[in-house]
Structure 1
Amino acid sequence: MENQNQESFPSQPNQRLSPPTHELPPISSNEQTQKRNGPESPQHDVPVQSPKSSRNANLPPPSCPQEIVVEILSYLPVKSLLRFTCVSKSWKTLKSDPFFIKKHLKTDPKFSKKRVLINSGGAQIRGITTFSVNAIFDDPIVTNTTFEDLSYEWVVGSCDGLICIATSQDAIILVNPTLRVSKMLPDFGFKKSWNSDCYTVYGFGFDASVDDYKVVRIRSYPNEAFEDGYESVVEVHSLRTNCWKMILELPFGIPFRTAGKHVNGTLNWHVSLDTIISLDLAQETCNEVPQPCYGDGASERSLGVLDGCLCVLCNFERLYADVWVMKEYGKRESWTKLVTITYMGVPMYPDNYEYFEYFAAPLFVSRSGEILLQFSVELILYNPKQNEFRTPRFGPLSEAFDCIYHAEVYEESLVSPTGVNQPS
């Protein structure tokens, strides 16, 4: 993994938007042509030009307005933009231009910048691998790109192309896998004795009020003074200030051992089947999130994010699962049932029902309505129109993904973890 000191990155990639001021160079070779064919060359006779032709030759070379060039480049993948930095100085500065970075993030009409990150373990590969979302749905055999061997690490979440990873040594790393740039966060500083009854959950998101990326750590440890016998402390790291602070003691109970889901400037966890809590990254306060009426027989539930909306997959005793989406965050009436997924026909349906796993929350929905979700340690695709399942094919590397620990959808971006504005 590339160290942040090996390459100079923009110092302000996430500041408030302002129009780009770069002058893009005109693309023309008229002057070189005139030198080759001019009267100073004794080798060739220069044909006499008509007055009209002569006037056109003296016109300035054609150029494309800067706004149009920026618009076109914003549709390109990051790797193409990095290759094009050699075209001119102004094109090179685009990768660090705050206006262009934000514009590039918002422009992805065909999901060409969306990728699936898989943390897996297998006979051939142990680490983190990424795939194109379109390839998962459309290609007969999915090709892969493994960017780092980070075995047995916990993927906390993703935001604007940045991936947050927690290591087994309790360290936190932010990485942009497309830029191949990473940053290790400083030590927490807040120390407390730990034992086997203590555990930690994380979350990662963006605070738009100050253009800042924040990592949240919730640590729970036994304390008889609390009703449930546990005390939970919330700590937040600001990428802008590059330091941690303790903000509050969690009043709603112990979060499930899953990463917080980032939606609309909040991080969300289940603390019980009937309770979802959210941490507002701007206000640094906790609130309870209203849930839909699932109906009788609801059992296991999992949180997820679909198209920027909070979603819940609610299982009904391994018979079927309902997927609910909160169209307008924080409003109970905006919960909408997206689809019901039956367990019948699952490709890896086990013979031993005792160890049968549940569906996890969906990862992505294609334009045709096909749903990508994780089932046990496998990825599967569900077509609700035909009520059919299929599994992505990974070709020769299929055995490398016989155990998928975590899957996350992220987008390619120019946001660098080492370039967030630091206070002066």
Structure 2
Amino acid sequence: MEEAALPEEIIVHILTFLPVKSLLRYTCVSKRFHSLILSNPKFAQSQFRAARDRKTNTQRLLYSTNARKLESLDLDTPLFGDPSTVRELRFPSQAPSRDVSLLCSCNGIVFLAFGAFFGVYIFYMWNPSTGFFKKLPDPDFFPYNYEVLAYGVGYFPATNDYRFFVASADSLSVDKDKAAIFSSRAHAWETLEEVDSDEFSFVSDQGILLKEALHWVDNREDQILAFDLGQEETHKFRKMLLPRDFSDDGGYNYENHLGVSAGGCLSLAHNLRASLDYIDVWVMGEYGVRDSWTKLFNLKLLDPPKDVRWYYNHVLVLETSMVTQIYVGERRKVKVGLIKIVQKEEDKCSRESYYKVNREWITMIDYQESLLWIED
């Protein structure tokens, strides 16, 4: 008895409900599946929307070390750092160098900076899941010997446009500080009016996207610098204040890190440099209103390292957890670890898991697995 074949549209619909990891395995089934999964932009968008709506997107941590090692860890599994959840990654052969900075990500697409060769960075887009790898046009209006101070990216579905923001400062001349936006739709850079590099000298480097604006925390002034990325005609910077309960010492004794909460609000991780065993978590309930900041948690490590010197470095604030680098050791024997701290709202405490990196320096960002790429 001959088996009835499912209609094409039914097969495609079923496949959109599968995770990226499974779909990538199915590319070996047939040329038809390979083309659908890796070469069909409509299918890639449908799969990403379905996973987003069901909140089943796989969140991963991407990090690189000074030993030029590139790995990603599953952030959703309770087995944080378990070898079965760790993937070693490599850039395609056309990567210009192994010296790379992980800048930011959006919809599974990671923005990178290679170099700098003679003080000039080369920007790329990369999807770690599929291997999509594309060079951005050279921002030739940036001066030589410039330093990238701040950056961020956002996606605007109404125009199918990724906008990548970069602010830079010339190390030789204060008169050549610039900011620019790359538009994937126009495949070109737009230079903004000259910016004050002092504005960005004390902000966090990666901007957090919320309400079509990028946000950086200024640890010097206890404020947030926001940039309206979605307003194409009138891009502008705004400032918002941090909670009133913060110390008035100018922020030098504190570290602040921004994120977006599960409820879609601006969130803030706040810790005193001299007291390393806790991190306060704040949420801005009403966007832009200072008095709406509320402290939700006081997260403490249940089992901090003993008999050694240790401290936090970079804190990555996620919707329901955070990941922080931790330096452990003495002088030349310093090693790096990653700690994932999960918020347990019912009792306002936390639990953590630890992953040892064994390198002296790392950079890290989070990204979502997707099949998406950016067409010309």
What interval of TM-score do these two structures reach, taking the shorter chain for normalisation? 0.7 to 0.9
Matched to 2:225, the amino acid is I
Give 5+ residue unaligned stretches, structure 1: 1-28, 32-60
Matched residue of 1:253: which SS? helix
Identity of aligned residues (%): 25
Which of 103, 113, 124 is equivalent to 2:58?
113
Query: Quick check: 1:153–1:167 contact (8 Å CA) kept in 2?
Result: yes
Q: Distance in 2 between matches of 1:75 and 1:327?
A: 33
Q: In the comparison of the two structures, how many residue pairs are matched?
A: 340
Q: For 1:209-232, what per-residue CA distance to the aligned partner results, in whole angstroms no more than 9, with x for missing partners?
A: 4221122110124799xxxx7774
Give the structure-2-normalised TM-score.
Answer: 0.75
- The structure whose residues are more often strand, as a share, is 2
Query: Quick check: 2:257–2:317 contact (8 Å CA) kept in 1?
Result: no
Give 5+ residue unaligned stretches, structure 2: 92-96, 328-335
Matched residue of 1:300: which SS? strand
Q: Does 1:302 align with 2:257?
A: yes
Q: Does 1:274 align with 2:202?
A: no
Q: Distance in 2 between matches of 1:277 and 1:220?
A: 17
Q: Distance in 2 between matches of 1:202 and 1:317?
A: 25
Which of 362, 370, 376 is equivalent to 1:413?
370
Matched to 1:253, the amino acid is E
Note the C-alpha offset of 1:79: 3.9
Q: Distance in 2 between matches of 1:238 and 1:183?
A: 14
Q: Does 1:324 align with 2:282?
A: yes
Aligned residue runs from structure 1 range 191-230, under 5 A: 191-192=142-143, 194=145, 200-221=149-170
Note the C-alpha offset of 1:257: 5.4
Q: Does 1:183 align with 2:111?
A: no
Note the C-alpha offset of 1:133: 1.9
Q: Which moved more, 1:313-322 or 1:384-393?
A: 384-393
Query: Quick check: 2:70–2:88 contact (8 Å CA) kept in 1?
Result: yes
Q: Distance in 2 between matches of 1:90 and 1:361?
A: 36
Matched to 2:152, the amino acid is G
Matched residue of 2:48: which SS? helix
Matched residue of 2:305: which SS? coil
Which of 166, 186, 189 is equivalent to 1:241?
186
Query: Quick check: 1:199–1:221 contact (8 Å CA) kept in 2?
Result: no
Note the C-alpha offset of 1:266: 1.9
Find the counterpart in structure 1 of residue 107 from structure 2.
160
Q: CA 1:158/1:113 → structure 2, altered by over 3 Å: closer, same or farther?
A: same
Matched to 2:371, the amino acid is L
Note the C-alpha offset of 1:374: 3.3
Q: CA 1:349/1:70 → structure 2, altered by over 3 Å: closer, same or farther?
A: farther
Q: Which of structures 1 and 2 has the larger relative contact order (alpha carbons within 8 angstroms, sep 6+)?
A: 1
Matched residue of 1:240: which SS? coil
Note the C-alpha offset of 1:143: 3.6
Q: Distance in 1 between matches of 2:175 and 2:217?
A: 16
Q: Does 1:30 align with 2:2?
A: yes
Matched residue of 1:186: which SS? coil
Find the counterpart in structure 1 of residue 200 from structure 2.
254
Q: Distance in 1 between matches of 2:144 and 2:191?
A: 16
Query: Quick check: 1:207–1:281 contact (8 Å CA) kept in 2?
Result: no
Matched residue of 2:199: which SS? coil
Q: CA 1:326/1:349 → structure 2, altered by over 3 Å: closer, same or farther?
A: farther
Note the C-alpha offset of 1:152: 4.4
Structure with max Cα Rg? 1
Matched residue of 1:30: which SS? coil
Find the counterpart in structure 2 of residue 382 from structure 1.
341
Q: Which moved more, 1:244-253 or 1:381-390?
A: 381-390
Note the C-alpha offset of 1:390: 4.1
RMSD between superposed Cα atoms in Å: 3.6
